[in-house]
Amino acid sequence: MAIIPQKKLFGWREVEELGDLERLVLVLESMPDERLVRAMEEVRYKGRDDYPVRAVWNSILAGIVYEHNTIASLRRELKRNAQLRELCGFDPWKGVEAVPTDFAYSRFLNRLMTTYSHLVEEMFNSLVETAMELLPDFGSVLAIDGKALPSFANGKSDQKPDGRRDVDGDWGKKVYKGNRADGTPYEKVVKWFGYRLHLIVDAEYELPVHYRVTPASNAEIIEAHGMINILASQHPELLERCGELSADRGYDDTKFIEKLWDEYGIKPVIDIRNMWKEDHDKTRLLGDHTNVGYDFKGTIYCYCPSETKERQMAYGGFEEDRQTLKYRCPATHYGIECEGQNQCPVSRGIRIKMSENRRLFTPIARSSYKWGRSYKKRTAVERVNSRIDGFFNFENHNIRGLQKMNIRCGLAFCVMLSMAVGRVRQERPDLMRSLVASA
């Protein structure tokens, strides 16, 4: 019997293929915004209601979905598009007069940033919980990375704040190193003024689970420690689900690696920096063993007692109860002829305790095929960052100030999760058959 591969409950490509109107409907129906809207309506109470709170809020979400980077652009679209006005909740009998003024939008957004930003965070956390309920494997594999968020300003000014300059951002730098095709090393330095987005995403569904916006100079690894702690308090079940977390070498930190495994049982899949300045491309002897060595990546080698040959030992798996990595003799495992096999002290294999070097020896051996496959999942966070730039228009924004940048990121992630939640709900449970149909 032929086995038909099953389609995932959610794929971001399905959302991208939807029309603009369908995406907006997904957002408006799935956004858990009732508490926010009611709070803003209670403050207005008996005041003027020329522009209803719910309609203005819906139009702001529409601006994010339709990639309007300014309020002026959104207002022009609302005046032009009667169907959009009605969908947002504006009075159809008023026509273009129903569209709020620039001043009305400014006041609304200012209150949203200064008074109700915590409710935006609540919406985000609520959507993460909903995604966990709808997708049983949501959060099983996580990825973390930082992203540059340049400010819409040239640099910091010491002048008195007047709302037109950015006094919260600072300078950030990221260094990229590698080797060219001919083997020569290269180094690329990227600098920007503004902020840094620290983001943890689900690597399978490419959806955010936690974020933090800081000045650009804040180090990624320092923020990562705090983010994991906050995630554990806000969504403990998610960390219980999580089996692996992948990250680039910017998160290569012994304390972080120990935190993930010792406190939360998460296997760290983090690239490693070469800290062996003078022993580059060399090996060191492992503990008391005379013919077993390792390199700066934690790859294990054995040395034949009879020949002057170095061979990489075969990885045999992780023994959680012993907290050890098991390696096998390459001659036995691969069928290689070795003259000194009978005299070799590790011909029957070897166990290496992780405590030998917690940074090098992790629950998933760095030299294993599984580590390579798991590390590739880290690219999920890069694709989320790409959508932030392209789909949510962060590559062409006019945002200044930490408050504005934080609320704008929060709204973008809420919209992203709302689209995902709405799409999953469309296909469950009575529409489950649509999973076998084209999107």
Q: Tokens 């760095």 appear where?
A: 366
**Which domains, and CATH codes, for the chain?**
12-119+420-436 (no CATH), 137-155+167-274+375-401 (3.30.420.10), 284-365 (no CATH)
Q: What is the pTM of this model?
A: 0.88
In 3D, which of 345, 366, 357 has the Cα closest to residue 289?
345
Burial class of residue 429 (count of CB atoms within 10 Å of its CB; 0-12, 13-18, 19+): exposed
Distance CA 394, CA 212 (A): 16
**pLDDT at residue 16, rounded to an integer:** 57
**pLDDT at residue 337, rounded to an integer:** 83
**pLDDT at residue 153, rounded to an integer:** 80
Cis peptide before 429 (omega within 30 of 0): yes
**pLDDT at residue 396, rounded to an integer:** 84
- pLDDT values of the chain reduced to their tens digit, one per residue, 439 residues: 344 344 455 665 655 555 677 888 889 999 999 999 999 988 876 666 688 999 999 999 999 999 898 899 999 999 999 999 999 999 889 989 999 999 999 999 999 998 999 999 999 999 999 999 999 999 999 999 999 999 888 776 566 666 667 788 889 888 877 778 787 878 888 888 999 999 999 999 999 999 999 999 999 999 999 999 999 999 999 999 999 999 999 999 999 999 999 999 999 999 998 887 766 568 888 888 888 888 888 899 988 888 878 888 999 999 999 999 999 988 888 888 888 888 888 888 899 999 999 999 999 999 899 999 999 999 999 999 999 998 888 888 888 889 999 999 999 999 999 988 988 887 743 333 332 333 3
DSSP labels, 136-204: TTTTSEEEEEEEEEE-SSSS---SPP-SSS-SS-EEEEEEEEEE-TTS-EEEEEEEEEEEEEEEEEETT
What are the tokens at 158? Answer: 């010491």
Secondary structure letter of residue 394 according to DSSP: G
**pLDDT at residue 160, rounded to an integer:** 65
**pLDDT at residue 157, rounded to an integer:** 57
CA 20 to chain centroid, in Å, comes to 25
